Chain A
Amino acid sequence: LAKTTQPISMDSYEGQEVNITCSHNNIATNDYITWYQQFPSQGPRFIIQGYKTKVTNEVASLFIPADRKSSTLSLPRVSLSDTAVYYCLVGDMRYDYKLSFGAGTTVTVRA
């Protein structure tokens, strides 16, 4: 599994856009990038997954540059309920089931 690096924490205010960048310099050709969200004392929840360029769903957008050595999770117009830990995972979705959760990024949204 490719090693990932993301900021430990980020602060934001309600209504702002939050962008979390994850570095994965040794990403392999067959690796996908997946983001999970975890609220305190709950299990992680799948947010979004992508391979290249841009992916958007009702929750977030994922931007992946051409070299795929990094990716950015974008949360539009955050609210207090978006306060959580966000994990970036990189792996070959054909074979990887050992999800490797690092420390994640703790996002705190303030009023």
Chain B
Amino acid sequence: ETGVTQTPRHLVMGMTNKKSLKCEQHLGHNAMYWYKQSAKKPLELMFVYNFKEQTENNSVPSRFSPECPNSSHLFLHLHTLQPEDSALYLCASSQKSMGDTQYFGPGTRLTVL
């Protein structure tokens, strides 16, 4: 599946580090999403971008900072994370933000020490 790619696939960082997750979609979609999936918990929607504009911030702490320079790329900048932020971070895209099937990337497995 090469429609939505995410890098890196695995990331280990300390609480004082700054890192970024990258997502790229090759589907020509206009909406992109960040989700968090912690162990034994359902997926949680974090951010939604529609035509590069952020349309949803689901009460995410400011230590997570999204960036969407264009409709094909989405970043999640991380700084001063906590161990409880360790999770699988998933990126998804859809043709439009309302009512379209979302296509997910493989995720980045993040471990915060």
Contact = CB atoms under 8 A, between A and B. Distances in A.
B102 A99 contact: yes
B57 interface: no
A49 B98 contact: no
Nearest to B104: A43
Contacts of B31: 97
A43 B45 contact: no
A93 interface: yes
Given A42-B106, A95-B98, 11 more contacts: A34-B101, A92-B99, A93-B99, A96-B98, A97-B97, A97-B99, A97-B100, A97-B102, A98-B45, A99-B45, A100-B42
Which applies to chain A's interface (DSSP): helix, strand, loop or mixed? Answer: loop
Nearest to A103: B42
A101 B94 contact: no
B107 to A, nearest CB: 5
Given A43-B92, A96-B98, A101 B104 contact: no
A44 B102 CA distance: 9
